[in-house]
Amino acid sequence: MEEISERRKEVIEIIKDIMSFDVTNEDTDLELIKMESWDSFNSLMLIARLQEKYNIEFTALEVETIITLNELYKSIGEKLNETI
């Protein structure tokens, strides 16, 4: 089993907290809109929390094009210059 980074663990916990959805490290291909509590408000809350926590910014286009958890992890990692 692949070692999960601390950063990814943090992101998973943030998702669980905001979305009230039991995300696991294996859910990388999960489409964000498939989460029961996914709506425009919660998606904005998630993006705002991630931006604040990691001092990063997402453009509107980036937010629109992030479909899966893996794409979210990749986008955060690119902004932080690390793999999460």
pLDDT tier at 3, thresholds 50, 70, 90: confident
What is the Cα 75 distance to its own chain's centre?
Answer: 9
CB atoms under 10 Å from CB of 73, counted, come to 20
Per domain, the residue ranges of the chain are 6-80
pLDDT tier at 2, thresholds 50, 70, 90: low
Each residue's pLDDT tens digit, 13-42: 999 999 999 998 889 999 999 999 999 999
Q: What is the pLDDT of residue 4?
A: 86
| CATH code for the domain defined by 6-80 | 1.10.1200.10
Each residue's pLDDT tens digit, 33-76: 999 999 999 999 999 999 999 999 999 999 999 999 999 999 99
Contacts of 19 (CB under 8 A, 6+ apart): 35, 37, 38, 42, 46
Find the mean pLDDT for residues 9-16.
Answer: 96
What is the Cα 5 distance to its own chain's centre?
Answer: 14
